[in-house]
Amino acid sequence: MSNSKIDGNWFREADDEWRGYCTSLEIEEILYHEKSDFQDILVFKSVSFGRVLVLDGVIQCTERDEFSYQEMIAHLPLNSHQDPKKVLVVGGGDGGVVREVLKYPTVEEVILCEIDQKVIDVCKKFIPSMAACLNDPRVTVQVGDGIKYLESKKGEFDVIITDAPDPMGPGVVLYEKKFYEELNQALKPKGIICSQGQCLWFDLDTIIKVLKQAKEIFPVYAYASGYTPTYTGGHMGYIICSNDKSVNLKEPIRNFTYEQLDEMKMRYYCPDLHRACFNVLPYFARKELKSILDT
Amino acid sequence: MSNSKIDGNWFREADDEWRGYCTSLEIEEILYHEKSDFQDILVFKSVSFGRVLVLDGVIQCTERDEFSYQEMIAHLPLNSHQDPKKVLVVGGGDGGVVREVLKYPTVEEVILCEIDQKVIDVCKKFIPSMAACLNDPRVTVQVGDGIKYLESKKGEFDVIITDAPDPMGPGVVLYEKKFYEELNQALKPKGIICSQGQCLWFDLDTIIKVLKQAKEIFPVYAYASGYTPTYTGGHMGYIICSNDKSVNLKEPIRNFTYEQLDEMKMRYYCPDLHRACFNVLPYFARKELKSILDT
């Protein structure tokens, strides 16, 4: 659990992971605040970022900037895959990632594996712009432990997206090698995984650890960067891997035009960004990751 | 003046420009806090970001992440110029930009034009990692109004860097067309300017305005992006222009190796980042800027 708190009309996000630094959002109205079997769930209407979902004191998404995260974590792998049909989303009960996955007409089936039914219910009620898509007939919601769910799956998915919380408490296992081995086993040939890849400024040790693990398992892997103001430090990384060495993760397959992007209701992702987002690593991180990424 | 405040042992940065959003840093010790003739100057030792300079309630730099800003605003233009000899830095009394400019052996003369002598004095005393370079024999410190200083200058500088505060109070004029016209007049042939380019998430209207102005004056201009956690939203943009249409701002001239970058004590900038940082515009901004940037 973080040290976050509601301080007057401000939500202040504090945690030892980013000690001495704090992002705060002003609250207009608290819409929901209860403990589920798994975590503390808070939804509030903010003064300038729309509705906000907070789990165990950490901001998960705001209506104003959530698209930057959901689009990156979904379209980087989906638009690197020739023919994605069956997609698994681990975590992400808010529905944002699923909403993006459903934008691909080839996608026939999306399984959302979320441990906390309460998150799904609360988001359907308070943040339908993200969670309404969970009612789509192509979506199956599986409430349960993503790791247990994966154990029984072999060669089933074209793309697996891990919409992981930060590596604290129950989130820790999603950054372990065992989990990446299970992701690999659950992929079809030419499969792609994409996971939340933390902040370069605060979590470089975790990023190095996870990329080293990925390198031991996957022939192709890369680290992309994006901007999301309400995530600590404003930087959010994405770890993307494929089980097929012929897959080029850095070159988008569909060169969507502006008209197509508008039709798809895109706000952050576009093919030119896809090509560039692997190459904006600051030098301090590039040096640390050089032997792993070989860039 | 912002609505920032010291709240117990936290410095909380608040302003109407980013209403309802607040970045805070925990204070270990306040080192200096006085009003100069121009502004409120605060320097504190933070718990996790080293020493911090705050002007009129807005974080200017922290020892932990200042290099990301200083290196981008200096090396993007310097490493796009074949032979930079004479460089003007407008603002930037903390010395961080000058420190980076001096890394080019071709540079013979750097003029720092800072309006507030107190900022220079305070930074020399409390943040020498940035301001000590102002004692370099190649540096001339000119205390005064940058705009007045520029009025009398014609065809003098190879590179001009505007280390501007945000467009509020005395900073407003640094975002006006008149200022860009004066920058243009003060440049030598094949000259390059680079200015602080605000945050895509909070200041898109200002960015559009300034780029439109740049387009009317300069044949070549571009917009680059970087990550600086203690700047609001974590994104910081850079507006870079040349008076010579043959200059390619997006391709670095010196392809520094890792060894060279280490010798230069670089921590953020590197040539691969230079090439990529113009192309990570999120789609929402790319659409707005398309007609101006033609990307």
Query: What is the C-alpha separation between B54 and B60, in angstroms, rounded?
Result: 5
A274-288 average pLDDT score: 97
Amino acid identity at B97? V
pLDDT tens by residue, A200-219:
999 999 999 999 999 999 99
What phi, psi does B161 have (nearest 5°)? Answer: -115, 125
Question: Does A163 participate in catalysis according to the annotation?
Answer: yes
Q: Which of A229, A266, A267 sits opposite B233 (nearest CB)?
A: A229
Contacts of A3 in chain B (CB under 8 A): none
Return the DSSP state at B19: T
Q: Is the pLDDT of residue A295 over 80?
A: no
Domains belonging to chain A, first-starting first, are 5-62 (2.30.140.10), 66-293 (3.40.50.150)
Helices first, then strands: H and E counts in chain A: 10, 13
More confidently predicted of A184 and A294 = A184
**Contact across the interface for B235 and A229, Cβ inside 8 Å:** yes
B185-189 average pLDDT score: 98
What phi, psi does A45 have (nearest 5°)? Answer: -90, 120
For the record, the structure tokens of B205 come out as 């209207």
Query: How close does chain B come to A188, measured CA to CA in Å?
Result: 31
Contacts of A66 in chain B (CB under 8 A): none
Residue in A5, A12, A21 to test binding to B, most B beta-carbons within 10 Å: A21
Query: What is the C-alpha separation between B111 and B178, in angstroms, rounded?
Result: 21
Query: What is the C-alpha separation between B183 and B161, in angstroms, rounded?
Result: 9
Q: Is the pLDDT of residue B295 over 70?
A: no
Q: Is the pLDDT of residue A166 over 90?
A: no
- Residue B17: pLDDT band (50, 70, 90) is confident
- Helix B204-217 to helix B283-293 angle, to the nearest 10 degrees? 20
Least confident segment among A24-28, A119-123, B2-6, B152-156: B2-6
Residue B264: CA atoms inside 13 Å, Cβ hemisphere, count? 24
Contact between residue B31 and residue B51 where contact means Cβ atoms under 8 Å apart: yes
- Residue B167: pLDDT band (50, 70, 90) is confident
Contacts of B65 in chain A (CB under 8 A): 201
What is the reported pLDDT for A1? 62
Amino acid identity at B119? V
What is the reported pLDDT for A285? 97
Query: What is the C-alpha separation between A204 and A17, in angstroms, rounded?
Result: 11
Query: How close does chain B come to A271, measured CA to CA in Å?
Result: 9
Query: How close does chain B come to A14, measured CA to CA in Å?
Result: 10
% residues pLDDT > 90 (chain B):
93
Contacts of A47 in chain B (CB under 8 A): 19-20
ipTM score of the complex?
0.96
Q: Which of A10, A268, A283 sits opposite B273 (nearest CB)?
A: A283
Instruction: Locate the chain A residue with the closest alpha carbon to B69.
Output: A282
Question: The pTM is what?
Answer: 0.97
Q: Which residues are within 8 A (CB) of B88 and not within 5 positions of it... i.e. 6 or more apart?
A: B110, B111, B113, B150, B153, B156, B157, B159, B160, B161, B186
Q: Which of A47, A280, A290 sits opposite B280 (nearest CB)?
A: A280
- Residue A2: pLDDT band (50, 70, 90) is confident
Query: How close does chain B come to A57, measured CA to CA in Å?
Result: 16
Instruction: Locate the chain A residue with the closest alpha carbon to B17.
Output: A48
Contact between residue A282 and residue B227 where contact means Cβ atoms under 8 Å apart: yes
